[in-house]
């Protein structure tokens, strides 16, 4: 059977699938040619990440398709329920990239509180001639230790964020309507462990008290955080979105950055991917990355092998 990994797959996944007797195609097929390619090549399994969309037209037109796999967590680019109603297997790898996304959150967070995102733009331009001025400009950083981090969405990724925050000496404020509390276990290099019980709180309480807020929920069709929610937050709050574009209303975020209500933001995802708003890209208070939350070698290896295991189990 043939598997089309249209958005790529790690070598570990290819090796595991080929060892199980599958033929793996890694050619990137344009969205408008997918139906034709799947039918012409008798593709049984289609693997995607966030770039390829698997809507009703593909599901209805590709009778040989038996499985759709998403390398990662969110499946908003797949018509999941419709596919399952039509008898297709729909799988993903919700835990494989959690640690990678959490580390990216803190990469943005560390860079934000010490202005590294802006310093890295200005040092090549002005470092030679205005070193003292830049030093003064970036000399008002703050420490994370002792601060409160608000985590909206306390699933796998949110809990990985909490682990790093606790290790950094931060207080964790978590909100999740589907979870009253969670046990967080920190495992150290020498085998020692530390356990914490985190009780979730109302989202209004989180907005009111958090020094930094990071979101880890699916996009629900409209922004979760817009002007009204930002007004509830502490002055000089920092916001991070490494979940889905649109969860934070970008125009309202820009307005809050201009007014000083929000001190800085970290964005890995955008409303208009792959062509983000230029005002967002140019804002000097925003730390930017191009949707790379799960893009570590370790996460991609885990995703590849987990997909391969599920495919072998379901199709062999």
The Cα–Cα gap between 215 and 239 comes to: 8
244: annotated active-site residue? yes
218-256 exposure pattern, b = at least 16 Cβ within 10 A, e = fewer: ebeeebbbbeebbeebbeebbbbbbbbbbbbbbebbbeb
The Cα–Cα gap between 46 and 34 comes to: 10
Burial of 27 from C-beta contacts in 10 A (0-12 / 13-18 / 19+): exposed
The Cα–Cα gap between 245 and 138 comes to: 29
Chain-centre distance for alpha carbon 16: 26
CA dihedral for 28, 32, 36, 39, sign (positive or negative): positive
291: annotated active-site residue? yes
273: annotated active-site residue? yes
61-79 exposure pattern, b = at least 16 Cβ within 10 A, e = fewer: ebeebbbbbbbbbbbebbb
Angle at 132 between CA 130 and CA 136, to 5 degrees: 115
Can you tell me whether residue 214 is helix, strand or coil? Answer: strand
Of the residues 159, 291, 302, 306, only one is catalytic, namely 291
C-alpha radius of gyration, the chain, whole number: 22
For residue 274, say if its preceding peptide bond is cis, omega within 30 degrees of 0.
Answer: yes
The Cα–Cα gap between 207 and 230 comes to: 8
Angle at 19 between CA 13 and CA 24, to 5 degrees: 55
Of the residues 23, 103, 273, 312, only one is catalytic, namely 273
The Cα–Cα gap between 143 and 6 comes to: 42
Of the residues 108, 156, 159, 244, only one is catalytic, namely 244
- The residues annotated as belonging to the active site are 244, 273, 291
């Amino acid at each position: 059977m043939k598997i089309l990994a249209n958005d790529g797959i790690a070598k570990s996944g290819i090796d595991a699938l080929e060892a199980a007797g599958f033929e793996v195609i890694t050619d990137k097929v344009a969205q408008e040619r997918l139906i034709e390619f799947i039918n012409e090549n008798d593709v049984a399994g289609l693997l995607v990440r966030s770039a390829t969309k698997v809507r009703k037209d593909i599901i209805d037109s590709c009778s040989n398709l038996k499985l759709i796999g998403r390398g990662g967590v969110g499946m908003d680019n797949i018509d999941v329920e419709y596919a399952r109603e039509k008898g297709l297997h729909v799988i993903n790898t919700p835990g494989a990239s959690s640690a990678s996304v959490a580390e990216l959150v803190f990469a943005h967070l560390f860079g934000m509180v010490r202005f590294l995102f802006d310093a890295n733009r200005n040092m090549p331009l002005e470092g030679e001639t205005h070193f003292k001025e830049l030093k003064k400009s970036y000399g008002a950083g703050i420490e994370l230790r002792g601060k409160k981090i608000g985590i909206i969405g306390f699933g796998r990724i949110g809990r990985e964020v909490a682990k790093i925050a606790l290790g950094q000496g931060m207080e964790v404020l978590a909100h999740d309507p589907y979870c009253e509390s969670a046990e967080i276990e920190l495992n150290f290099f020498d085998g020692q462990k530390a356990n914490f019980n985190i009780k979730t709180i109302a989202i209004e309480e989180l907005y009111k008290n958090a020094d930094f807020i990071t979101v880890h929920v699916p996009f629900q069709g409209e922004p979760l955080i817009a002007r009204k929610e930002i007004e509830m937050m502490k002055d000089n709050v920092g916001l991070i979105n490494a979940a889905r574009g649109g969860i934070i209303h970008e125009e309202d975020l820009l307005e809050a950055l201009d007014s000083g209500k929000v001190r800085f933001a970290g964005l890995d995802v955008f409303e208009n991917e792959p062509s983000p708003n230029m005002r967002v890209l140019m804002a000097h208070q925003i730390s930017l990355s191009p949707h790379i939350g799960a893009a570590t070698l370790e996460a991609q290896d885990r995703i590849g092998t987990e997909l391969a295991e599920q495919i072998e189990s379901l199709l062999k």
